[in-house]
């Protein structure tokens, strides 16, 4: 195959029909991800959501990135406060995951009955979790229907060896549809 033919073939593949939504959902559902509660504190009250889109971005400085849907209540709290905390859930904390994944903070107090304190950034740190990463937002990028918040870790702790890991077929009921 010549270079010109390869370029045409590559273009046809990339610019061809979009991936079928059900096939995409099935394939992405196979990606195991950690389930974390991302929290922020704005307008005098806590906000939080269940987030699987969390990744380390740098060692020096210590950075992590989270992707949060722009329509989410917690998105606004992160934007207003300039900070967020990633609370790392223990394997057995599916009840907390369900509360933060199945309800909107506009409609319910997700923090009712939970013990928490404010971290260095003011973001809520849930008691009894596997650990946390408290971050100050350093960058924000608009990506598709989400914002990617990059945060410098200013406070961190680890209390357990295992976190709650999600795979769609196992924990489908944890998320708001």
Query: Can you tell me the mean pLDDT for 96-123?
Result: 94
Residue 8 domain-assigned (yes or no): no
Q: Does residue 97 have a pLDDT over 90?
A: yes
**pLDDT for position 7:** 57
Q: Based on the structure, what is the number of domains in the chain?
A: 1
Strand partners, 170: none
Residue 56 domain-assigned (yes or no): yes
Neighbours of 172 (CB within 10 A): 11
Higher local confidence (pLDDT), 2 or 145:
145
Residue 16 domain-assigned (yes or no): no
Q: Does residue 68 have a pLDDT over 50?
A: yes
Neighbours of 174 (CB within 10 A): 21
- Summarised one tens digit per residue, pLDDT across range 112-170 is 999 999 999 999 999 999 999 999 999 999 999 999 999 999 999 999 888 998 876 55
Where does the chain show beta strands of DSSP type E? Answer: 33-34, 36-42, 45-51, 54-58, 63-69, 83-88, 116-118, 124-126, 131-143, 146-158, 165-166
Residue 23 domain-assigned (yes or no): no
pTM recorded for the entire structure: 0.84
40, 74 Cβ separation under 8 angstroms: yes
Residue 12 domain-assigned (yes or no): no
The boundaries of the domain holding residue 73 are: 33-174
Q: What value does the mean pLDDT of the chain take?
A: 89
Q: Confidence class of residue 105 from pLDDT cuts 50, 70 and 90?
A: confident
By the 10 Å C-beta count (0-12 exposed, 13-18 middle, 19+ buried), 46 is classed as buried
66, 86 Cβ separation under 8 angstroms: yes
Residue 87 domain-assigned (yes or no): yes
- What are the distances in angstroms from CA 64 to CA 127, 129, 131, 145, 159? 21, 18, 15, 19, 19
CA distance 85 to 138: 14
Residue 5 domain-assigned (yes or no): no
Q: Confidence class of residue 177 from pLDDT cuts 50, 70 and 90?
A: very low
Query: Can you tell me the mean pLDDT for 42-64?
Result: 97
Q: Does residue 4 have a pLDDT over 50?
A: yes
CATH code of the domain in which 101 resides: 2.30.110.10
Residue 79 domain-assigned (yes or no): yes
């Amino acid at each position: 195959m010549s270079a010109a033919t390869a370029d045409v073939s590559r273009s046809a593949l990339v610019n061809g029909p979009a991936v079928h939504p059900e096939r995409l959902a099935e394939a992405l559902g196979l990606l195991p991800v950690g389930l974390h509660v991302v929290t922020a504190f704005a307008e005098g009250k806590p906000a939080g959501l269940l987030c699987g889109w969390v990744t380390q971005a740098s060692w020096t400085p210590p950075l992590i990135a989270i992707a949060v849907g722009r329509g989410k209540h917690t998105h606004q709290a992160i934007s207003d406060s300039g900070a967020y905390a990633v609370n790392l859930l223990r394997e057995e904390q599916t009840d907390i995951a369900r509360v933060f994944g199945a309800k909107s903070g506009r409609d319910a107090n997700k923090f009712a009955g939970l013990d928490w304190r404010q971290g260095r950034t003011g973001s809520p740190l849930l008691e009894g979790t596997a650990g946390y990463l408290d971050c100050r937002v350093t960058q924000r990028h608009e990506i598709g229907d989400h914002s990617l918040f990059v945060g410098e870790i200013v406070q961190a702790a680890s209390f357990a060896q295992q976190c709650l890991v999600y795979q769609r077929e196992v924990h489908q009921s944890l998320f708001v549809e």
